[in-house]
């Protein structure tokens, strides 16, 4: 079943929720010129159709002692289904991994990793490379400064 097309009010709701998912139903309804019941029905539909995957609080990594961001590029010669499942299971179980992507191009996978410091990263790296056979190149780059970070998708109204 295909999702319903989004209208202007749906897109406005999605943008508002991306800015602050703690807004009350009344505040959301007022912002899009609806009463609460139709607004709630729209939100429910947007969730049911998968436009809204979840509602979370965004935390400050530095204040939590997780100031080092690493981007890890991985090459492998293994491409079997069983190896892939083993690799995915290993990486998904690592709480330091904030993003995990299968790539096209020179590298096969990209990880975004958030840790406290270089010693913590070294522990993560050792668990990764010793946890799965077949990794032929693991290259890491470290962010010196976060210039832009957002979780908001560009949803045009």
Tens of pLDDT along 68-84? 999 999 999 998 999 99
Rounded distance between C-alpha atoms, residue 136 and residue 129, angstroms: 9
For residues 69 and 133, state if they share a domain: yes
Supply the range of the domain harboring residue 36. Answer: 8-49
pLDDT value for 2: 62
Say how many Å lie between the first and final Cα of the chain, rounded: 24
For residues 66 and 95, state if they share a domain: yes
CB atoms within 10 A of CB 87: 23
Q: How far, rounded to the nearest angstrom, does the alpha carbon of residue 130 sit from its chain's CA centroid?
A: 25
How deeply is 33 buried, as exposed, middle or buried, from its count of CB atoms within 10 A (0-12, 13-18, 19+)? exposed
Residue 99 falls inside a structural domain: yes
Residue 136's φ and ψ, nearest 5 degrees, are: -105, -20
pLDDT value for 157: 75
For residues 98 and 120, state if they share a domain: yes
| Residues in the chain, pLDDT under 50 | none
pLDDT value for 151: 92
pLDDT value for 25: 97
Whole-model pTM: value is 0.87
Number of domains present in the structure of the chain: 2
């Amino acid at each position: 079943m295909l999702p319903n097309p989004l209208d202007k009010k749906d897109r406005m709701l999605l943008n508002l929720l991306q800015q602050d998912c703690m807004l009350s139903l009344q505040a959301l309804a007022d912002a899009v010129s609806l009463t609460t019941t139709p607004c709630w029905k729209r939100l429910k539909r947007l969730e049911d159709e998968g436009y809204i995957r979840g509602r979370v609080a965004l935390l400050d990594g530095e204040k939590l002692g997780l100031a080092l961001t690493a981007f890890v590029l991985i090459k492998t010669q293994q491409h079997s289904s069983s190896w892939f499942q083993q690799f995915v299971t290993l990486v998904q179980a690592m709480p330091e991994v904030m993003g995990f992507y299968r790539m096209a191009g020179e590298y096969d996978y990209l990880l975004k990793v958030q840790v406290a410091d270089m010693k913590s990263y070294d522990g993560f790296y050792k668990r990764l490379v010793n946890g799965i056979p077949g990794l032929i190149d693991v290259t890491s780059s470290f962010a010196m400064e976060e210039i832009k970070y957002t979780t908001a998708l560009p949803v045009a109204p």
